[in-house]
Structure formats: C-alpha cells, structure tokens
Amino acid sequence: MIEIVSGIGRMRDISDGKHAEGITVGLVPTMGAVHEGHLSLVKTAAESSDFVVVSIFVNPTQFGPNEDFERYPREIKNDKRIIESAGGHIIFAPEPDEMYPDGFATYVNVDRLTAPLCGRSRPTHFRGVTTVVAKLFNIVNPHTAFLGQKDAQQLAVIKRMVRDLDIPVDIIGCPVVREPDGLAMSSRNMYLTDEERKQASMLYRSLCRARELVDSGVTDSKETINTVNGMLSELDLFDVEYVEIVDPEELTDVGDSRNGGLLVLAGRFGKTRLIDNILL
Amino acid sequence: MIEIVSGIGRMRDISDGKHAEGITVGLVPTMGAVHEGHLSLVKTAAESSDFVVVSIFVNPTQFGPNEDFERYPREIKNDKRIIESAGGHIIFAPEPDEMYPDGFATYVNVDRLTAPLCGRSRPTHFRGVTTVVAKLFNIVNPHTAFLGQKDAQQLAVIKRMVRDLDIPVDIIGCPVVREPDGLAMSSRNMYLTDEERKQASMLYRSLCRARELVDSGVTDSKETINTVNGMLSELDLFDVEYVEIVDPEELTDVGDSRNGGLLVLAGRFGKTRLIDNILL
C-alpha cells in the first residue's frame, strides 16, 4: 500500500533522496476528498514525473471565518485507495499544528491578481493558498506541480508567485474534468441537494453557449456576459456572484472576447459556492 | 579573479552543480559597499561552507520613498577585491529588472515582528527584505545563510520567515563588528560628517552602560532605557527614534531586563539613520 507521510522532516528526507538519485518529483497538491479531477492530475503527473507526491491538507488559512472549513469532507482512507490506483507514489498529509506552529506569522501575498473575481468575496483566501503552496514546495521540493484549470484564478496566482519568487518548480495547468452533464468536478458538489445538482448543469451549458457566441462572431464581451447571466438567472436556487471575461494570466477585464479571453463565473447554491470557467 | 554572476539562471545552474557534487553552499546576502562587518560574515561562511556566494543587490523594495536608495553607495570593484580576499568564491549581483520584472506582484510578509521598532518608521522595509531574501534563497539554494546581528530585527524576521515557510536554509546570526571607538560597522557610516561621526561613538557607549547597569543588578527595563536616553540626549546632532529592551526572537517589550533581553536603539544624524543593539 501507498505510504502516508505526515512529518515535514520525513517528507523532506524522502524528496531529498529522490533528488540525489536523479529521480524527478511531481506534486499534486489537494485538500483530499479526491474526485476524477484530482485523479486526472495524478495520472498526468505519473506520465511525466518518476515519483508522484499527492499532498492532502485541508488548509485552514485559505478558509474565511464563515466558510466550510469544519464541514469540508475528509475521506483519507478512500483517497488513499484512489490515489494509489491512479499512479501516486506517496501521500503527504501533514498535521495542521506542524504546518502552522505557535507564533506563525508569515504569509505570501500576490497583489493585484488576488483582488478581483473570487478575491472580492474571499479577501484572505488566496493569501492562504499561496502561503501553503509555498510551504509545500519548500517541503516536497518538486520539479513539477500539477494544478487544475478549474481554479483558474488560483492557477494564475500561483504561476505569478512562482515567477516572482524564483521558485524552481514548473507549474502545469490541467484541463477541467466534468461530470457527464458538464458540471465541473469539485469536492463541494457533494453538498448539493438533488434539485441544486440538477440546476448546476446550467453553469457549463452557459459557458458552452458563450463559446458558441464568440465562435459565431460576437466580439463584445458585454453581450456574451449578458447571455450567460440570462441563462443563470433562470436557476431559482442559484445566486450569481460574478460572470466576467478576463485575461487568463492577468485576470483583467477583456472588452473584446475573441482573443483568448477566459470566461469565469462564480455563485452559490445556498451555502455551496461553485466556480467554473471556459477559454473562449 | 572571483566571478561576478548576474543572471538568475546561471546562478541557479552553478548552485545546482555544487549540490549535485555534494558541496555545501553558504550565502552572505549584502547590498554591497562591503565593510569589516560583511568580511566577518564571509570569513565565517568560508569556515563552514565549501562554496561561498556573496550576493550584492541594492534592493529597491526595501527602501521607502524618501530613503537613500539612489545615493546608497555602489562600489562593486572594491567589493570584489575585498570579498575575494575574505574567502568568497562567487559574487551574485543580479539586475533589478530581472529581479523585479514587469508585472511583479508577490511579497512575503512577516506579520507581528515587523510592526514594532524599525517597522514603525519604515512600514514597507521588512516586506522588501523578506521578499528579496526569499528570492535569493530560491535562486542560490544555500545550505546556510550568514546574517549580521547588527540588524537584529531583520535577523529575527528572517528566522521567523524561514521557520514559517519551511525554507530549507540554516540561518546563522553573526556578531556585530565595530570600529575602534565602538560604532557598529555600517555602509551608511560614510554619510556621517566629522562631527556626527565623533558623536556616533556614544551609541555603543550607551549600550555598554546599559549592560553595566543590568550586570550590577538593575532589573527594571525603564531605568536602563532612561539612562541610555539620557546619554543619547547629550548628542545635539542625534535624534533618537527608539530605545527599547525586547525579546530577541519575538521583539516584544521585556519589562525585566535581566533575562537575556536585547537592548535596541535607532536614531538619525540628519538624514543618516543608524541602528545598534546589545544583548543584556
């Protein structure tokens, strides 16, 4: 069976050993409750890295005070089985007390890119993400890290951090994996009621409609966004938070949606917050 | 002659090569204009590390808008000669444009420890220091880094950052090196006029007097601080910014100055800001 490592020192020793042997290390950082999206990351990592580390850590610093840290699903036994079957070699599951010891005071902040989109409703979220990812990179010391495109803003922010701080890790963004009806895989989908789950398929349908519009020659981002908003407004259980077309790296508004803009959306079914995106 | 490397990629390649050969790498980060204090760091590094990298980078992000970034001394030719004689093996002197490329947005912040003391008058200083040191650590990948105790708050802040972000670098704090009259070595001492320079010897004399008081049984920090303030107030060209007795790691006020408190002081001769400290 695949080993679960919890000690930071032990994880570092294992990785140092691989480096010394010339073995390439890939990291898939997760919060556990793994689904097909994570598995796709692990499989991609296993194709290009000799040794695949999957971290599982429900990171307290990326949850806001009224968010779902406590109820976030923890299913390590199940995760272990699935990760092994997908080609993962080791699970790094550190303890919160070792990751954030008494007196902890250091945060990595990416300015600018963290202000718009999800940053507006989750002002401390990305600071928590970049801090824990910087820590994981320092502990695991991977050659390559594999992240989902589903969290498009997170991916852009982490790429910016890696470039700015000269962190020697290649970041690979991997395609969104979807349910048969198009809903993007997320550990939070399990919070949805049956009726919410049905309505949730509209998110991807609205993204596809946006791409059709752009493909058919619509150039004004506002028109595309209005169409998406119109479709989402048909869902009586869903509250839209934002629908925007942005530059995929800089996350700034793109007025003309033909040139590789990224349509991003976020909203809530009750307390369950969902995000999705599509490259136009 | 010792090589000066400016490219980040080249510096990384050199360090990777040393690591692969099992050679230990030591880093002495400086802003150049090296003096006996820096030399002491380089010598200490050369005693314990196989390969000593001295970085020279006048880091723009650690200077405030009205500080001395422009006039900070740059003397790389002289630096090169001195560093070589002290046992340094390579100088890493990156270009500002490569260290802070267009769109740079990421900063490492150490909270709490950066608020008191110098943080009050230099609110963005430590953010610049921790960010550039994190970058240097990622580029040079040293086993050990050597820093002066003179910048006591900086040393505490960097130690906290390294611990919190799990950066695999040992931090060695090295003793303050002083002029014959006791003035702590600093690249900024060259800004002093003759008369300011004469008065500046009082800083260390006041620190020594504080230690005498504590050694003779004075326990109340206030009494010791008052004595130091009294001595400094005799200097008509010096404006005291702070005199405090703090915990050397946490930088919190220590009411009782017997138990290893650190007496720290800062002030200005005209525009020239000086700091010093002594362990009680």
- CATH number of the domain to which B7 belongs: 3.40.50.620
Residues A45-73 pLDDT 10s: 999 999 999 999 999 999 999 999 999 99
User: Closest Cα of chain B to A30: distance in Å?
Assistant: 18
Interface A-B: count of C-beta contacts within 8 A: 76
With respect to residue B30, please indicate whether it lies within any of the assigned structural domains: yes
Q: Are residues A41 and A11 in the same domain?
A: yes
> Looking at B146, B174, B202, which one is the last position of a domain?
B174
Residues A230-273 pLDDT 10s: 999 999 999 999 999 999 999 999 988 777 899 999 999 999 99
With respect to residue A82, please indicate whether it lies within any of the assigned structural domains: yes
With respect to residue A179, please indicate whether it lies within any of the assigned structural domains: no
In contact, A86 and A49? CB cutoff 8 Å? no
**Contacts of B162 by beta carbon, 8 Å cutoff, 6+ apart:** B137, B169, B171
Q: Is A139 on the interface with B (CB under 8 A)?
A: yes
Question: Quick check: B165 and A106 CB within 8 A?
Answer: yes
Region B15-39 average pLDDT: 96
Q: Are residues A131 and A220 in the same domain?
A: no
| Closest among A53, A50, A56, A63 to A11, alpha carbons compared | A53
Which residue on chain A is closest to B22 by alpha carbon?
A20
What ipTM does this complex have? 0.96
Domain span at residue A59 reads: 3-174
> Looking at A149, A174, A199, which one is the last position of a domain?
A174
- Predicted TM-score (pTM) of the model is 0.97
Domain count within chain B: 2
Pairing status of strand A144-148 against strand A25-30: parallel
Q: How far is it, in rounded angstroms, from Cα A38 to Cα A44? A: 10
In contact, A201 and A180? CB cutoff 8 Å? no
Q: Are residues B102 and B234 in the same domain?
A: no
Q: Are residues A145 and A39 in the same domain?
A: yes
In contact, A193 and A167? CB cutoff 8 Å? no
Q: Are residues A72 and A109 in the same domain?
A: yes
Residue A13, Ramachandran bin (φ over 0: left; ψ between -120 and 50: alpha; else beta)? alpha
Q: Are residues A249 and A140 in the same domain?
A: no
Q: Is A138 on the interface with B (CB under 8 A)?
A: yes
With respect to residue B191, please indicate whether it lies within any of the assigned structural domains: yes
Q: Is A251 on the interface with B (CB under 8 A)?
A: no
Side-chain-side CA neighbours of residue A74 (13 Å): 9
- At A10, the amino acid letter reads R
**Contacts of A53 by beta carbon, 8 Å cutoff, 6+ apart:** A11, A15, A25, A26, A27, A28, A88, A89, A90, A91, A92, A140, A142
**Crossing angle of the two packed helices B8-20 and B125-140, in degrees rounded to 10:** 50
User: Closest Cα of chain A to B111: distance in Å?
Assistant: 5
B53 beta partners? B27, B90
With respect to residue A16, please indicate whether it lies within any of the assigned structural domains: yes
Side-chain-side CA neighbours of residue A232 (13 Å): 27
Kindly report the CATH number assigned to the domain that includes residue B210: 3.30.1300.10
Q: How far is it, in rounded angstroms, from Cα B278 to Cα B244? A: 11
User: Closest Cα of chain B to A189: distance in Å?
Assistant: 32
Six-digit token string for B4: 């000066």
Q: Are residues B121 and B227 in the same domain?
A: no
With respect to residue B180, please indicate whether it lies within any of the assigned structural domains: no
Q: Are residues B81 and B140 in the same domain?
A: yes
Q: Is A135 on the interface with B (CB under 8 A)?
A: yes
In contact, A278 and A211? CB cutoff 8 Å? yes
Q: Are residues A124 and A257 in the same domain?
A: no
> Looking at B174, B197, B226, which one is the last position of a domain?
B174
Q: Are residues A169 and A196 in the same domain?
A: no
Q: Are residues B153 and B241 in the same domain?
A: no
With respect to residue B125, please indicate whether it lies within any of the assigned structural domains: yes
Which pLDDT score, from 0 to 100, does residue A1 have?
A: 86
Q: Are residues B168 and B210 in the same domain?
A: no
- Whether the pLDDT of residue B260 is over 90: the answer is no
Q: Which residues of chain A have pLDDT under 70?
A: none
